[in-house]
A and B are shown apart, each in its own frame.
Chain A
Amino acid sequence: MTDIGYVRTEMLPEQDAPSSAVGVVHWIRVNLFSGWFNSILTILAIYFVASLLYGVLPWVFKSSWTAHSLNECRESIVAQYGEGATGACWAVIRERYLQLLYGFYPSELYWRVNLAFVGLLVAIAPVLFAGIPRKVLWFSAASPFAIFWLLWGGTIWLPLSVVAGFVLGYVAYVLVSKPAGSLAGTIAAFLVPVLWWLLLAAPVASGLQSIIPLASESVESARFGGFMLSVTIGVTGIALSLPIGIVLALGRQSDLWIVKTICVGFIEFIRGVPLITLLFVASTLLNIFLPPGTTFDIILRVMIMVTLFSSAYMAEVVRGGLAALPRGQYEAADSLGLDYWKAQRLIIMPQALKISIPAIVGNFIGLFKDTTLVSIIGLLDPIGLSTSIRANQEWNGIIWELYGFIALMFFIVCFSMGRYAMYLERKLKTGH
């Protein structure tokens, strides 16, 4: 009979992994040549990428940067690289890049756009990165109005009177909620500013302007274009659609039947309609519904439509995040005595939004690219401009260079957003 009893007398020490399990060679073997099938795929992929680059790179680099028309371009390429050579005509970008960036914005006022862009970067920095001092958030709060004034110009009293609406809303909340409860306060905080903006803000602004004239040269919306237009619409949509989407998602989960029905109705209607349709409504129909004589800026209308469209999708994304949270989180928050809004703000939303980061950023990217659809209603975004550049006799027939440039610009922005999302996910990871 064998003895099956065994007792370990000393524990084994930890040892380094063998060199075949770490390092570059290991990586290549595991990831590229782990088997015959994988090896064939690797070789095919290398061949494919190489032949793609072989075709594209000469076109990119055997190019002309100095010509003033497409024909001149072709001639100079042939002269430089020999008969039959074809290459890109980057001269069109060199000649028109200012237009692609700023549209028809007056060139002597480009500094205002640049300043607004820098202001935008400063304003979003504290939102994106926790390391920035929190006081910069005050600048972020003020920046939409400052940027609006920088871009459109005109009297400074207009953005200030819009700001006054928010102040009025806050005052109304404080005054009403004390005697009549927080629900009445919330309604007042909503109604008072809306009435102010619709009825009083414009007359008050022009009144103040006539008393104390403070204005910069105004630039009308028709002169907006290029990437500046895309960024303006895109950033507005992104900044507004997330909070609206959160409110809609919460409304959709509400126990109050009316609130729930309104939110569901809104979301389902907007999701069921193509963005193009909404943009056409913005460009043509909206004026019919508004009181006669009101001029309602076309870019503003487009912004509203893009925001509404995106917020409906955002609501569904956030709802997905909410649904993914275990019920225990709500119960723990309840059992600690946190009320609904505190539980949402401190416990539920931070987690739901974290879960939804990939989808939220995906929506942002989609929204930013969808801003090119405004070219269909005649706004001169980069796509709209490229059409008009090609309509010019000198550049008639140029396609790849323009679209390539536009694609590159969009890619830089969208890729950065995607990278930022990955950074954020890593940063917020609190598990093992």
Chain B
Amino acid sequence: MSQVIEREIDRSQMQVSDEIAIQITNMNKWFGSFHVLRDINLTVQRGERIVVCGPSGSGKSTLIRCINALEEHQEGQIIVDGTELSSDLKNVDKIRSEVGMVFQHFNLFPHLSILDNCTLAPIWVRKTPKKEAEEIAMHFLEKVKIPEQADKFPGQLSGGQQQRVAIARSLCMQPRIMLFDEPTSALDPEMIKEVLDTMIQLAEEGMTMLVVTHEMGFARQVANRVIFMDQGQIVEQNEPEEFFGNPKSDRTKLFLSQILNN
């Protein structure tokens, strides 16, 4: 557990509604002939914060990348916000504009300033007027606590700052669901906290979040469900208390003992 979150977490806002945000049924995916995701069934309620963990190669990143069609699934059904992901490009674009994604390596656009990174998609996808888009961008940059960096370029920022910009960039599209693909794995230890703090703040505001991470402290304190994956399958899922305190499957026990002991 590399990072301990000291702050008192306000769970009163983190209500889970009955509305379904994401529904995945019997989903299968192959990379060539390699069966990478096997019979995935997952329902995410609006407002839920789900942490997905598991050993590398278990398919956890692939799973959340399927949700905004960065990877194509071959069998089964994914419904995001009532729209089914299919080969219909209109649906794909609609889902992508409602689902924010944060990557391990930030993937900021290095040729654009921080502000332009944040206003690009609102201007070109949502057709927001430039001035309004800039106001929105500054609002979210303030939220992730780096409004003073707006005119710099990504290459001039630290890793933690870049990741917070990446979060702000996603938020500028005002998504209803946020996906995080190992957001802190590429960061120096002292920068992990600032990114996790931003994510906790988001969770407190009731954002639906799917987070692939190894930050078990984050999982314990913010998630209301932890999913453990291995060999392309969901092996175990439970509330964090139960998951960490009383893991059921042997595979989970082994994984937890390895990740928590070092």
Which A residues lie at the B interface, using CB under 8 A?
Answer: 326, 328-329, 331-332, 334-339, 342, 346-347, 350-351, 354, 428, 430-432
Q: Which residues of A contact B156 (CB under 8 A)?
A: 430-432
Contact A342 B103 (CB under 8 A): no
Instruction: State A346–B109 Cα separation when bound (angstroms).
Output: 10
Nearest CB on A from B82, distance (A): 17
Contact A329 B107 (CB under 8 A): yes
Contact A430 B110 (CB under 8 A): yes
Contact B110 A335 (CB under 8 A): no
Contact flag A338-B124 (CB < 8 Å), given A328-B103, A431-B153, A431-B155: yes
A to B CB contacts below 8 Å, 16 in the list = A328-B107, A329-B107, A331-B70, A332-B107, A332-B108, A334-B96, A335-B170, A336-B96, A336-B97, A336-B170, A337-B121, A339-B93, A342-B124, A428-B111, A430-B154, A430-B155
Contact B110 A431 (CB under 8 A): yes
Nearest CB on A from B70, distance (A): 5
Nearest CB on B from A42, distance (A): 37
Q: Which residues of B contact A329 (CB under 8 A)?
A: 107, 109
Q: Which residues of A contact B173 (CB under 8 A)?
A: 336-337
Nearest CB on B from A329, distance (A): 6
Q: Give the number of residue pairs across the A-B interface with Cβ within 8 Å.
A: 71
Q: Which residues of B contact A332 (CB under 8 A)?
A: 101, 103, 107-109
Instruction: State A337–B96 Cα separation when bound (angstroms).
Output: 5
Number of interface residues of B (CB under 8 A): 28
B216 at the interface (CB under 8 A from A): no
Nearest CB on A from B98, distance (A): 8
Q: Which residue of A lies closest to B122 (CB)?
A: A336
Contact B125 A336 (CB under 8 A): yes
Q: Which residues of B contact A338 (CB under 8 A)?
A: 120-121, 124-125
Nearest CB on B from A431, distance (A): 4
Interface residues of B in 162-207 (CB under 8 A from A): 169-170, 173
| Known interface pairs A328-B107, A430-B111; 7 further A-B residue pairs with C-beta atoms within 8 A, sorted by A's residue number | A331-B107, A332-B108, A337-B97, A337-B121, A338-B125, A347-B120, A351-B109
B105 at the interface (CB under 8 A from A): yes
Contact flag A351-B107 (CB < 8 Å), given A335-B96, A337-B173: no
Instruction: State A335–B178 Cα separation when bound (angstroms).
Output: 11
